[in-house]
């Protein structure tokens, strides 16, 4: 039964991914100024060195003739070497994926959990002081630029109070085992807090409105008429029916979280993918930028696919 939607969503995701690959190709070649000149300018190369470099990246051929080679190397995950470090791009990225996943994972869980509590209790006690307060805070958090929020946290808790380290992933001293873990966690607190706060607002607002949609439903009155405790009605009858849009929202907003990670990682020098991207901008490191863009796009497309499939699985009405 669910095979139709499974096939359609998967094909759609593959199509989108192919589009990203093509877009990536043209973006870096059609924009004014060719890449070799940009590299040559930044590294002061001679004419012969430029030609060797152009041949290495296949940039000496006409644009369309470069396409097959580009697609082949993209499919085999060969993104060339970083202009900055000279190391393979895949290696540069591989070392950082885990750190970004840690930051993004912790922040997502944090913002969803807090957003759920604020949104659910706000909707349940609509118009109460708690509701007004949590909605005000949510709207404020939504309006605050995440980069600035990160800097404020860094200044107050890092520089002024000195409670948390002002950046990086771990201390320079060689720690192992439990001490190493607490050290990393200590470094994780501020960036994770910044990213959590950046998303709590919009989650709380949407969760609240999603719950308000089911609040007037008759099955809740029925549950109350059966004498079920109010708390039980809320978490066992109302929330499960409101959870579906929330669930997909989290997957769909993955792209924004990844984007937010770029800013937060750059400010806290968290050595993840976002920080790598930030450094690549300054050094015009195009192989790294290209690969990072492809990878983030692919992960967002994948998380959207997961959302589509899970939605189809969780909501019987979508199974056609």
Say if residues 115 and 204 touch (Cβ distance below 8 Å): yes
Can residue 82 be called a binding residue for another protein (CB under 8 A)? no
Return the residue of 187, 203, 277, 287 that touches another protein, per CB under 8 A: 277
Point out which span in 58-66, 104-112, 225-233, 283-291 binds another protein (CB under 8 A).
283-291
Encoding tokens for residue 79? 């993104």
Among the listed residues 196, 304, 308, 311, the single contact to another protein using CB under 8 A = 304
Q: Say how far apart CA 205 and CA 215 lie, in whole Å.
A: 15
Q: 180: closest CA among 189, 168, 171? A: 171
Q: Which residue has the tokens 């000279």?
A: 86
Name the 3-class secondary structure at 81: strand
Q: How far apart are CA 103 and CA 258, in angstroms?
A: 10
- Residue 58 is a binding residue for another protein (CB under 8 A): no
Which range of residues in 87-95, 110-118, 147-155, 222-230 is near another protein by CB under 8 A?
147-155
Count residues near another protein (CB under 8 A): 52
Residue reference for tokens 């006409």: 62
Q: For residues 74 and 284, which CB has a smaller minimum distance to another protein in the complex? A: 284
Binding mask 192-211 for another protein (x = CB under 8 A): -----------------x--
Q: Decide: 291 and 90 in contact? Cβ < 8 Å.
A: yes
Q: Which of 54, 102, 149, 234 is the binder for another protein (CB under 8 A)? A: 149
Among 145, 219, 232, 235, binds another protein (CB under 8 A): 145
Query: How much of the chain is helix, strand and coil, in % rounded to 5?
Result: 80, 0, 20
* Burial degree of 189 (CB within 10 A; 0-12, 13-18, 19+): middle
CB of 317 to another protein, least distance (A): 20
Site residues for another protein, 208-267, by CB under 8 A, read 209, 212, 255-256, 258-260, 262-263, 266-267
Among 1, 47, 225, 282, binds another protein (CB under 8 A): 282
Does residue 32 bind another protein (CB under 8 A)?
Answer: yes
- Report in angstroms the alpha-carbon separations of 24 from 65, 110, 283, 290: 16, 33, 19, 7
**Residue closer to another protein, measured from CB, 248 or 277:** 277
Q: In sequence order, what are the beta bridge partners of 127?
A: none
Does the footprint of another protein cover residue 18 (CB under 8 A)? Answer: no
**Strands of the chain, DSSP E:** none
* 162 touching another protein, by CB under 8 A: no
Burial of residue 199 (number of CB atoms within 10 Å: 0-12, 13-18, 19+): buried
Binding site for another protein (CB under 8 A): 15-16, 19-20, 27-28, 31-32, 126, 139-140, 142-149, 151-152, 154-155, 158-160, 166, 209, 212, 255-256, 258-260, 262-263, 266-267, 277-278, 281-282, 284, 289-290, 292-293, 296-297, 300-301, 304
């Amino acid at each position: 039964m669910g095979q139709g939607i499974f096939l359609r969503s998967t094909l759609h995701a593959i199509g989108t991914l192919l589009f990203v690959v093509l877009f990536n190709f043209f973006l870096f070649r059609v924009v004014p100024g060719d890449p070799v000149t940009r590299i040559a300018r930044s590294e002061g190369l001679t004419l012969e060195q430029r030609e060797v470099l152009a041949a290495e990246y296949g940039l000496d051929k006409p644009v369309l003739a470069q396409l097959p080679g580009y697609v082949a190397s993209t499919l085999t995950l060969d993104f060339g070497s970083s202009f900055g470090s000279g190391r393979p791009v895949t290696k540069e990225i591989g070392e950082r994926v885990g750190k970004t996943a840690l930051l993004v994972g912790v922040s997502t869980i944090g913002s969803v959990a807090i957003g759920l509590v604020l949104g659910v209790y706000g909707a349940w006690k609509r118009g109460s002081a708690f509701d007004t307060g949590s909605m005000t805070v949510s709207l404020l958090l939504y309006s605050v630029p995440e980069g600035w929020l990160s800097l404020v946290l860094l200044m107050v808790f890092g520089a002024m109070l000195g409670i948390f380290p002002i950046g990086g992933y771990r201390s320079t001293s060689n720690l192992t085992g439990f001490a190493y873990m607490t050290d990393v966690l200590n470094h994780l607190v501020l960036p994770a807090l910044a990213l959590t706060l950046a998303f709590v607002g919009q989650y709380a607002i949407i969760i609240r409105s999603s719950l308000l949609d089911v609040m007037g439903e008759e099955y809740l009155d029925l549950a109350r008429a059966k004498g079920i405790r109010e708390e039980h009605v809320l978490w066992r009858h109302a929330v499960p029916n409101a959870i579906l849009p929330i669930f997909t929202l989290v997957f769909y907003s993955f792209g924004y979280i990844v984007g937010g990670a770029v800013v937060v990682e750059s400010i806290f020098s968290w050595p993840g993918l976002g920080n790598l991207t930030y450094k690549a901008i300054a050094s015009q490191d195009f192989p790294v930028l290209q690969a990072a863009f492809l990878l983030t796009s692919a992960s967002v497309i994948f998380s959207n696919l997961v959302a589509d499939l899970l939605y189809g699985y969780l909501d019987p009405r979508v199974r056609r």
